[in-house]
Amino acid sequence: MNCCEFREKHSDFVDDLLNPQEQSDARAHLTACAACRRFDATLRAGLDALRALPDVGLSHGFRHRLQWRLRDELAVRVPVMARWSGAVGTLLLVATIGFVGWDLLQSRATHRRGAEWAATTLRPAALPLAANVPARVFPAVRFSSLDPRSDAFHPINSILVTDPPGPAARGNQVRYDLPAVWGGP
């Protein structure tokens, strides 16, 4: 083994990674070559001095500062969660509004159907009332057009129906606004 080869394999020689034959050759070269011996001794002494360096210590507030930074890290994560929960909340809100709107429309449709029923049944000719009104259709229609104190006749603008017609009547009252053409508002 010559000096170039020795220097090339010196790192493995220091770490005992050469195979037995190469290790033996390196040792033989070291015995024979003063320059490489000096180089080997210098490196080993330098590495010893390096490994003897004391550890650098942490400053007093290191852990405290780290804890604060980790809290900040958590604080960054929370808005991310909040953003998602906000999106979910928005979806829920939209769904709720949609449901309420749909329910309202359904309710209006029900009332419209009731008004249509009233409009077709309560023909102007049937008003004002009594004898011409079929009892079957208006079991409990109360007209408030006549003021008992003044005996004056007020135009009818709505009627109150107790129990829509049908066998399952339960005493509910439904107020129907009448069109102006019938004398309403």
Partner 1 sequence: MTLAVRDGLRSLRHTPSTPFAAFEDSQVVQAFLDGQDRAFDELVSRYQVRLLNFIYRTVGDRERAEDLVQEVFIRIYRHLHRFDQSKKFSTWAYTIASNLAKNELRNRSRNPLVLFQTIKRHWEADHRPLQFEDSSSRPDDLYRKRHLRELVEQSVSQLPEHHRVVFVLRELEGKTYEEIAEITGCNLGTVKSRLNRARNNFAAIIAPHLD
Site string for partner 1, 55-84 (x = CB under 8 A): xxxxx--xx-xx--xx--x-----------
Q: CB–CB of 173/162 below 8 Å?
A: yes
Q: Is 51 in the site for partner 1 (CB under 8 A)?
A: yes
Total residues contacting partner 1 (rule CB under 8 A)? Answer: 30
Six-digit token string for 65: 């500062």
Footprint of partner 1 on residues 5-44 (CB under 8 A)?
7-8, 10-12, 14, 39, 42-43
- In the bound complex, what is the minimum distance in angstroms from residue 102's beta carbon to partner 1? 42
- In the bound complex, what is the minimum distance in angstroms from residue 168's beta carbon to partner 1? 58
- In the bound complex, what is the minimum distance in angstroms from residue 28's beta carbon to partner 1? 20
- Applying CB under 8 A, the residues found at the interface with partner 1 are 7-8, 10-12, 14, 39, 42-43, 45-47, 49-59, 62-63, 65-66, 69-70, 73
